[in-house]
Each structure stands twice: as C-alpha cells, then as structure tokens.
Structure 1
Amino acid sequence: METAITTIIEALREGACVDAAWLERLVRARNRETADASRTVAKRRLLPYYWRVKSDDAARFASWNVTPEIERRLVRLLQAKPRRTASGVATVTVLTKPWPCGGDCLFCPSDVRMPKSYLSDEPACQRAERCFFDPYLQVTSRLRVLADMGHPIDKVELIVLGGTWSDYPPAYRRWFASELFRALCEFGEHASGETAARRKRYEEAGLTSNPDELARRFARAQDAVNAGVLGYNDFVQVHYDAAVPGGAARETGRTGECSETGAPNRPGSRTDASPWSAVSAWQTAAAEEVDRWHRANETARCRCVGLVVETRPDLVTFDSLVELRALGCTKVQMGIQSLDDAVLAKNARRSTSSQIARAFALLRLFGFKIHVHAMANLVGAAPAADVADYRRLVTDAAFLPDEVKLYPCALVESSRLRRLFESGAWRPYGEEELVGVLAEDVLATPAYTRISRMIRDIPSPDIMAGNKKTNLRQLVEERVRATGRPVREIRLREIATDTPAGVDLRLDVVPYATSVSDERFLQWMLPGGRIAGFLRLSLPFPADALPCGAASPLPAGCAMIREVHVYGRAAQIGRTGDAAQHQGLGRALVERACAMASEAGYGSVAVISAVGTRAYYRGLGFCDDGLYQTRRLGKPGR
C-alpha cells in the first residue's frame, strides 16, 4: 500500500499526467507483483491508508514530503463517489428510532424494526440499526466513511428521517438534536472513546445491532403485521417503550407485542423487560443542552450548514415551527403525496389540500426550505390526473415547493395496499405510463424547484409490484431530451463537480408570487442555462394580506433570505481553489438580495441561517436576533 501511495506522490511531484486511467494501471501493476492477497491494492483502500499514516505515524508521513498542493491533487484523484459532495456540502442521513405513527396510509410499509415507512434493508436504515438509532453514533460513523473517501466534511447537511418528527416526545426531539450537534463538534479524537462507551451502554441494556439476530427476534411480529393480525403501532408502542409523560406506555386496549412464540400478548399489555425501556429513560435533554452544542458548533471542525426533518402537513403549526427553529432546523420535508382530496381520502391520508396549503404558507413565512414528497400512481389516481395534479403543485400560488421527491407508488408486503392489489382494486402503472408521467412532471417544473429524487432506496426484492428499475431517472431524462422541450428544473442544470469560469457567469432573477409573499430566485448561470449557485429571497405580504391561519414570526417590513447555495465540488471552510465555492458568489448573491429588498421598501432582512453558518452571516453584517439573524437596510440609493 505504501509503495502505491509514494509512487502516486512522486508522479504528482514530477507533474506527470496522473488521472483515473493512470491510477488503474498502477493498481493492476502493483497487484501483479503481490502474491499475498491480504496486501492487495485497491483504490478505496489507498486514501484511508494515507489518512491513517498522516494521523498516526508522523515520522513516516514526514518522509513522504507531501505539500498542501500535492495533497489536494492526491485526494481528488483517490476520492470515491465525487457526486456525494457535488452539491457543495457533505450530506449525512440519520434515522430516529421506531415510534408509533399518527397516520396509517395504505401504501406505507410497516417494518417493525424501523420507523414507519422505512425498510430494514434500505442502506440508511441498515446504518441506523447498526448504531442503535443513536444520532451520535450515526453521525460519527458516516463522517468517518466520508472522510476516508476523500470528501471534505467541514460543511455538513444533516437529514433526519424516520416517520413524523412531531410524533416523538419533545424531550426526545431535544436529545436527538443536541446529540447530532455534539457528534459534529466532537468528531475526531474525542469521538472514538465516546462511541465505544455508547455501544457498550446499549449492549448492557440488552440491545443488539447484529442484523441476523434482529431478523430472528422480529420475524414473528413482522409476519403478524404482514398478515394484518397485529398493528404496527401496537407492536412498536410496546416494544420500543413509546411512553407518555410519566414513563408509562400508552394503553391502547388493542393487541400488544408478539411474544417469542409469535402469539400476541393480552390487549393493552406491555413488556416491562423491553431493553428500550431503560434506553428511553436517558434519551432526553433540556433546551439548554441544545443551545450548548449549537454554540460549540459555530466554530467546530464539522459545522452544520443545514438541518432537515420530516413531518406531515396537519402537524405544521406556528408553535411547532418555533421549536424547529430553536433546534436549528432550516428545511422541512413534508409528505403531501397528492393535492386531490378524493385521492388522499382513498389512500387513508389524514391531510387535506387546504391543510397542505396552510402548511406551505406557514413554512414559507418562517423561511424554511420546503421539500415535499409527491407520489404518482396512488389508489384512485390515473396518469393524466397525476400530471395535472403535479402541474397544480408547481403553478398554484398556494404551493410552489423548493424541492420535490417524486416517488412512484410501489407495493411492499407489509403495506395495507397489498389487499387492494390482490383484489384488483389497484394496479401499478406500466413502465411506459410511469416514464411518461414523470417526464411531464420534469418539464413542468419551474426554474426555482429541484427534483431531488425519483425513487426510494427500496431493494428490488422488497417490491411486490411497481417500478424496480434503479435507473428510472435516467429513463425519464432520456424521454425528456427526446421531446426537445426546455428543462428548467435545478438538478438537471447544476454544475455538479464542474468548475465554472467566473467571467462566463451572469446573474438571473426569476420572480414569482405565492399566497403569502413575492419571491425572487437569484441564480448564477453559465452559458446554456447551467446553474452555479442561487439565493431564495422572500418578500412577505403585510399581516392583513395573509390568508386565514397564516402568521409571520418576523416584524413588519422584514424580508427573508430562505436559502443561499453555491454548487460545485465542496471546498473546505477558509480555503479557495478552482471550485465555485469560496469565490464570493454567495456574498454577491446576499448583497444583491439586500439591495432588492431595500428597493422594494423593506427596512431589514432576516436569514434563516444554519448553526454552522452564523459566523459567515455575521461577517456579512447580520446580527443574531432570536430565531434568525437580521441586517438593517439603508434607504434605496444610499
């Protein structure tokens, strides 16, 4: 391994053309020379080996004589999966523990090992289960993998999945958030001892992270849920100690946990011996603990530049959004699935289109980025109706999301949709129908909206009916290109890992109106329409012009910067390079937005800053001001 690394370093020092093909030839040559299989060279092993020597063997590392420029080129050469940080940040996805869900949608999976709607063999879910759903363990584990792959990890977006955030107890929500930030702050020398101690604590409580053992323990309960004999909520409520204040599990009067034999216990019973009972007792935190780790993260090595949680439209209230801001949240994922009330009712959704509209209004007034889940092929839907429904989502002023996940409905065994499929009351679209619907959705998407995903990470064996092709997005994009029609959606236009030429950039402004504000989407564009960065500016309407039920947390005359994002390969804080980041593009966007707000008559502008970006905005003249950071604006022309 060392010979391969030093050969690469020497070639870089001599200015040789060192690219992926050159590296592949080197690896093959080294392996032909090595008889011992345990010493086989692989690209994925080279960078972790380099970091290990740099960290643990100072004398050896000094002998390599690696300059900062050589290290930069070495890391870029050996970096695995560069798209992971192509959007400018390192994304870390974590899951909350299984918990009873306030909904019971027909299409939703009911894996008793997971939070509602998630499956135990999805990649992020497997990582979470191996970490006992502990936020600290999940974050540190993922950061280590990303660092070993060569990705900068100083700017981290935390995505919290796991059913509905607001369904969990407030003390657990505070604990989970504080531990996320603690993990970011302590990553490195302090994390190894803490992770070992935590794992020991979970194991001493009687929990296991062994997937085979977990599959054995949960098999009978899962069979009962799949057969409709046992409810997901009933099992999870008992097994995971889903307690109400005071520590007592909720009495339901319905069938409780399955025993080891698979037989349900008596109605309303609980298992006091559940290991989660002891664990739940210390998964609590006060607001002061959250604030402590927020302050520490402002200057930490790994800073949080975004915190995302999931919720339902009917749970979006003024008070719930105040709490989310206090926890450091900047983006909300919201499952809406459809805007058709009849379709929502047929799929046992508890939200209505009016509740969805109210949630959009509140989220926008609070400055949150709004990331929605839309689902084609629901019970009662049809291809043409799905296209019309999505068009309403992206054109009606009551909605207009910032990001969308387009999830075609797929049947998994543990969902209640199975009965309708077996009776012929629901059928999945054929590939031609589905690709056609999604292609029309892409073409209808405006310039200020990003389609982040088109499929869930559901393993093919788990899908009983519906799309199983992992390259569905590729098929859709091919169909879109074949139409010859222009595409405005962000993801297809972002520069990814490319390096923009600053002289070719121009600033474009897309205005649009919502039910509560005038919006301005400022974007740095390259020739051909590609996008290098953007800013979302919201100019809220006066209080007397807001729809019923909508209220703003901002004082009158205050505009809101809801998002600033610069694309390109992630660059470390405080460093410049040839990527788009740290070239002043973000600062220029903020200054232009402030000028536009001033010209529109607003006296101040707030920014929904992440905890790890507070210092950046202070440098741009913003002051800490409760839930936000604000900046006074001069009169136009000053």
Structure 2
Amino acid sequence: MASAEPRKKPAPGAAAWSPSPGVLRGGGARPRHRGDRLRHGGALAARRGRRPERAQVRGVPQVRPRPRPKLVEMIAAVPRPTAPPSSPPPRQAVRTASGIAVVAVMSKPHRCPHIATTGNICVYCPGGPDSDFEYSTQSYTGYEPTSMRAIRARYNPYVQARSRIDQLKRLGHSVDKVEFILMGGTFMSLPADYRDYFIRNLHDALSGHTSANVEEAVSYSEHSAIKCIGMTIETRPDYCLGPHLRQMLSYGCTRLEIGVQSTYEDVARDTNRGHTVAAVADCFCLAKDAGFKVVAHMMPDLPNVGFERDMESFREFFESPAFRADGLKIYPTLVIRGTGLYELWKLAGSFLCYQAYSTFHRPRVTIGLNVPSSSVTSVLQVQKLPTGTPGRYCRKNSIIGATMDACVQSPEGYPYALVTSGVEKGNLRELALARMEDLGLKCRDVRTREAGIQDIHHKIKPEEVELVRREYAANEGWETFLSYEDTRQDILVGLLRLRKCGRNVTCPELVGRCSIVRELHVYGTAVPVHGREADKLQHQGYGTLLMEEAERIARREHRSTKLAVISGVGTRHYYRKLGYELEGPYMVKCLV
C-alpha cells in the first residue's frame, strides 16, 4: 500500500493555507451528500495507509436536500417592486363577500355541562370525550373542516388562528378585518383559566404580542394591523346569564349563538336539552339588553315532531316577541352512530317523523341528489315565512345538512359516511332557493339581499340607494332596524340595529336612559382598513350616515341621554373618530 505524501511547510512569510469551504485537504471537491462522504472518506483513509472500514465517519454531519418550495412561498418571495400591480380575484370569493374574514376556532374536548344535572347529553349529539369520537369536541365528529384544522393544531388557539388567517391570505382574501367564531361546545362551561388562555392567544395571534393576561391582549389587539371586528361564542341558555355576559364582554365578544332547537317544552324535555324554552326567552332578553347580537340554532325533524308542528315552531320563532333573534341557523336532524337518537332509530317505529329516519318505510320522494323532498320543503317554507318586518331583520346564516357544524355549507364538509339516516346533502339552502325560484317565490332575509352576495349578479347604482327604517318589539324592548338599500333591486348595502334598553339591564354602563347600537355592518367585498376602492361599498360613508341617524332617533324619540355601542376590539378607533369614548366594554357618547 502506498504511503501518504508528506505535507510541506509553507515558505517563511507565506500565509498558512486553509481549505476553502468546498475543497478538502486531500484534494477534490467536498462531497455534499452523506453517501458521497462515506465513499470519499474510505478513499482518503486508503491514501493515508488505513483500512477503509476503520475510517471514522460518525462525526460526518448529515445533509438533507432542501424540499422544493411551495408555490405560495415562491409568490411571497417575489420583491414588491416586481409584483403584479393587481392581485388576482380570490378563490371562493363568498368567504369575504360580507366584508369580513371569518376565522373559526375550536376549544379543547370537554364534557357537556348538563350531564351533571340530566345524567346524559342531548339524544342527537355526537362527539365529546365519552363518545365514539372521543378525540373531537362536544357535538362534533372530528371530520368537519374546522375540527380537522383544530386537531392538526392540537387545539392550540394561536396556531389555529394564525394558520387559518395565513391560508385565507394565500387564497387572495383581505384579512384586515377578522371575526372569530368559537366552536366546540359550551365555551363558558370551561374553567376560567383555560378561557383566559384561549382568548388571550386569539388576540395575540392578530397582534403578534405575547400577553400576560386578557386585558393586555385586548389592548394590543386594538392597535394591531389585523383588526378583530367581532367575536362569536357558542353557548346555551343556562350559560348566558348576567355573570357570563359580563365575562364575554371582557373578551371582546359581540355575538352569541344560542342553541334553541325547538320552541316546544315537551321536545326540549324528550331530547334531554337540560333547559326549558322559557329559559331561552329569558336569555335572549338579557343578551340583547347587554348589546349582543343573537343567533338561534333550530333543529327541525326531531323525534315526535311532524312537518306541521315544525312549521308552527318556526312561525312562532319569527312572530313571537319572546324570540325574534337577529340570525338563524337551521340544522336538519341527522342520525349518527353512538348517539341516543341512533338507539331510537334502531327500534324503527319508536317515534314518528316525516320520512327522515327509518329506512323500513316506503321509498322517499327525492329531489335531485337523494335529498328528501320533505327536508327541502321544510327549509323552503322557513325561507318564505318572514315576509313582513320581522323577516327583513333576520339573517339566516346557514341551512346545513349536518347536525351541529356551523361551518359546513357543502357536501364535502360533513362526512356522510358517518350519517346513518337523514339528510344526505349539505347544500339545502341552495336547493331550497332553487325550488323557490321555480315556484316564483323570493327569499327576503338579510343574507339573500346583502350586497356582497348580490354584487356577483347585479351592479348597485349609488344614486338608487336610500335609507329604510323598520321597527318591531322583541324581548321586552323596542328595536329599530336601519338600512341603506337599493330598493329597486332589493339589495342591502348596510344595516344598523338600535335598541332602547329595557328593564333587564345588568351592565352598569347601560343603566338609566340609554340606547345601544347592537350592530353596524356595511356589506360588500372586504376592503382593507385604510383602503378605499371606487367600485366597492365599504368605506364610502354609509356607516357614518347610519350612526348619525341612530343618534338622532336615540336623542329625540327614545329620549336617551347617551348612546352606547357594543364594538369589536379592532373597531374602537372608528367610533373614537365619531366622538365616542371607551366606558367599560362599550363605546359611549353623551347625547345632551
């Protein structure tokens, strides 16, 4: 074996030579991959008189090739000066058509709070730690889009919020205005320290600051570039009392989604709801007097409830002043394995229903893609029910073919392999609207008429937009619904909900002669906070005009001495420009 060549010393005065990063002392280029290093190390050892198998290769670092960057990463790396002047239209434009980017997050799995009092959960409810879907939150299966994002993030609120915002941004949506929806069961039944941790991280996800408590997080979120314009919390009537409302106000919550399911006491008892219908009416009253927007969850086709009785329930919901919520979500009942309703369904005949559960009856009349005719008919009847003033103020957020998922609005959103019986499509609203069009009927609720949805098909002329006023009694108070509308095309541009506070005020800031603005919303495609586009409706002055009219009504007709606004954390600066100051959780302006 040839001996290694002796190394020569550098000449006096010459700098000592050191190998460059890409060159080895033994000659040749430095190998880049681990396999090449092993082979090169063996050859180098042979040249130095050692056996190749004894070469010391443990210290050779492992070098892994960098994965190919994603397309969105390459687009993000393009320098600003060379970026295209106009961004392409966003995918799924309807997600920000209402002027905001909705970000749904989920709390950790926990047991239903009324198990302690009733001994069990609702008969139709899947999910939760004690169910067949123990990795999911209460009333979810874990296969919904929001559930899967939460599971991937290990239910970390910061990761859930940040990843969803980044995803919407990559899809071309404006994320300057964000509304959080807290899903995953009754949030207010969780321990207080966990609730504070969850809310703190949501606000920190917008501001980028690491806060020590909720107050600090809200303060930084108020000045962040991404504004939290609202927060929605899912709750139950028994967790919507005075102390709960005060706590939710401190979080920056502006909207409540309350499970009603039915307006019949016997149905609430038979389905093991754990509360009465009277409690629903009471919590609606308390929530509205605190300024919250109220969205009700209703569930047709429950056991022992027929079609006519369901329609009567919805009719009472719209016409009775004890209910009349600001929004409605309809969840047709589904039979899912592991629920109490599944055990009843297996008995096949233990209760009556209108062609929804039992597969042993005669074949169902279907419309198109295996959608029960009765389900579409019931949704159609609900859509056409509110033709007067009560219907114009209500926003039917979702009509969903899933038991308890407020985000599912497409067939792929809910895993129908888990559905034993019931509605087999998630686009019931679309099917019902198509049926109404065939029958020459028209839906007149807020969502159907809002400008962001209608702008896809119709162009609004500013000279045809005018102020419209509607009034109605609801929940022991008087409501004024102001809106700017294109009355010729029946398109809603913006709305304001003004309430003369009743006798059930629990917040000290609202005691006395006070009126409250519960909602101010200008529709249309989302526009950045400091931006303005001539062909968009946001930031054109409609909101200011609505507030001026609300102040006039509160001062002259309500005889109120001050006007309060339940404001999202990120919109407080807007109201400061109009002369409002922060008083507790509200923005307040003196009218005298």
Counterpart CA distance in 2 for 1:102 and 1:566 is 37
SS at the partner of 2:88? Answer: helix
> Which residue of the other structure, out of 608, 626, 634, is the alignment partner of 2:566?
608
Counterpart CA distance in 2 for 1:414 and 1:366 is 38
1:625 matched residue in structure 2: 583
SS at the partner of 1:319? Answer: helix
- Is 1:503 the counterpart of 2:463? The answer is yes
Counterpart CA distance in 2 for 1:113 and 1:517 is 43
1:226 matched residue in structure 2: none
- Is 1:294 the counterpart of 2:218? The answer is yes
> Which residue of the other structure, out of 509, 512, 520, is the alignment partner of 1:556?
512
- Is 1:91 the counterpart of 2:49? The answer is no
Counterpart CA distance in 1 for 2:416 and 2:469 is 42
SS at the partner of 1:349? Answer: coil
1:75 Cα offset (Å): 3.3
1:599 matched residue in structure 2: 556
1:538 matched residue in structure 2: 499
For residues 111-122 of structure 1, the aligned pairs below 5 Å read 111-122=133-144
Counterpart CA distance in 2 for 1:489 and 1:49 is 43
- Is 1:166 the counterpart of 2:90? The answer is no
1:496 Cα offset (Å): 1.6
2:377 matched residue in structure 1: 436
Cα displacement string for residues 248-277 of structure 1 (whole angstroms, at most 9, x for unaligned residues): xxxxxxxxxxxxxxxxxxxxxxxxxxxxxx
2:158 matched residue in structure 1: 136
Cα displacement string for residues 529-586 of structure 1 (whole angstroms, at most 9, x for unaligned residues): 1111111111123x3xx5xxx7454121110000011111100001100211111111
Cα distance change of structure 1 residues 363 and 65 upon mapping to structure 2, 3 Å threshold? closer
1:501 Cα offset (Å): 2.6
SS at the partner of 1:496? Answer: helix
Is 1:338–1:344's contact at 8 Å kept on the other side of the alignment?
A: yes
1:159 Cα offset (Å): 0.3
1:336 Cα offset (Å): 0.8
1:513 matched residue in structure 2: 473
Counterpart CA distance in 2 for 1:490 and 1:481 is 17
- Is 1:389 the counterpart of 2:313? The answer is yes
Is 2:284–2:475's contact at 8 Å kept on the other side of the alignment?
A: no
2:416 matched residue in structure 1: 460
Counterpart CA distance in 1 for 2:83 and 2:318 is 55
Counterpart CA distance in 2 for 1:394 and 1:605 is 27
Cα displacement string for residues 198-232 of structure 1 (whole angstroms, at most 9, x for unaligned residues): xxxxxxxxxxxxxxxxxxxxxxxxxxxxxxxxxxx
The count of aligned residue pairs is 475
Counterpart CA distance in 2 for 1:126 and 1:387 is 35
1:481 Cα offset (Å): 2.5
- Is 1:449 the counterpart of 2:394? The answer is yes
1:315 matched residue in structure 2: 239
Q: Which structure: larger Rg?
A: 2
> Which residue of the other structure, out of 248, 263, 279, is the alignment partner of 1:355?
279
Cα displacement string for residues 331-367 of structure 1 (whole angstroms, at most 9, x for unaligned residues): 0111110010011111111121110000100000001
1:75 matched residue in structure 2: 88
SS at the partner of 2:213? Answer: helix
What letter is aligned with 1:536?
R
Counterpart CA distance in 2 for 1:384 and 1:181 is 46
What letter is aligned with 1:359?
C
Which structure 1 residue ranges, 4+ long, deviate > 6 Å from structure 2? Answer: none
For residues 579-598 of structure 1, the aligned pairs below 5 Å read 579-598=536-555
Cα distance change of structure 1 residues 181 and 552 upon mapping to structure 2, 3 Å threshold? closer
Cα distance change of structure 1 residues 65 and 124 upon mapping to structure 2, 3 Å threshold? closer
Counterpart CA distance in 2 for 1:418 and 1:519 is 42
- Is 1:529 the counterpart of 2:474? The answer is no
Cα displacement string for residues 370-400 of structure 1 (whole angstroms, at most 9, x for unaligned residues): 0111000011211110011011111110110
Counterpart CA distance in 2 for 1:156 and 1:333 is 18
Counterpart CA distance in 2 for 1:65 and 1:162 is 40
Counterpart CA distance in 2 for 1:65 and 1:335 is 47
Cα displacement string for residues 409-442 of structure 1 (whole angstroms, at most 9, x for unaligned residues): 0011121111110112245535111111111111
Cα displacement string for residues 178-202 of structure 1 (whole angstroms, at most 9, x for unaligned residues): 100000111xxx8xxx9xxxxxxxx
Is 2:222–2:569's contact at 8 Å kept on the other side of the alignment?
A: yes
1:398 matched residue in structure 2: 322
For residues 175-324 of structure 1, the aligned pairs below 5 Å read 175-186=197-208, 289-324=213-248
1:502 Cα offset (Å): 1.7
What letter is aligned with 1:95?
M
Identity score, percent: 31
SS at the partner of 2:247? Answer: helix
1:476 matched residue in structure 2: 432
Q: CA RMSD in A?
A: 2.0
1:46 Cα offset (Å): 6.4
1:48 Cα offset (Å): 5.6
1:127 matched residue in structure 2: 149
SS at the partner of 1:487? Answer: coil
What letter is aligned with 1:611?
V
TM-score (norm 1): 0.72
Cα distance change of structure 1 residues 39 and 168 upon mapping to structure 2, 3 Å threshold? closer
Counterpart CA distance in 2 for 1:315 and 1:466 is 30
Is 1:98–1:115's contact at 8 Å kept on the other side of the alignment?
A: yes
Is 1:362–1:552's contact at 8 Å kept on the other side of the alignment?
A: no
For residues 47-66 of structure 1, the aligned pairs below 5 Å read 49-50=74-75, 52-54=76-78, 58=79, 61-62=80-81, 64=82, 66=84
Counterpart CA distance in 2 for 1:96 and 1:327 is 15
SS at the partner of 1:581? Answer: coil
1:460 Cα offset (Å): 1.2
1:53 Cα offset (Å): 2.1
1:483 Cα offset (Å): 3.7
1:378 matched residue in structure 2: 302
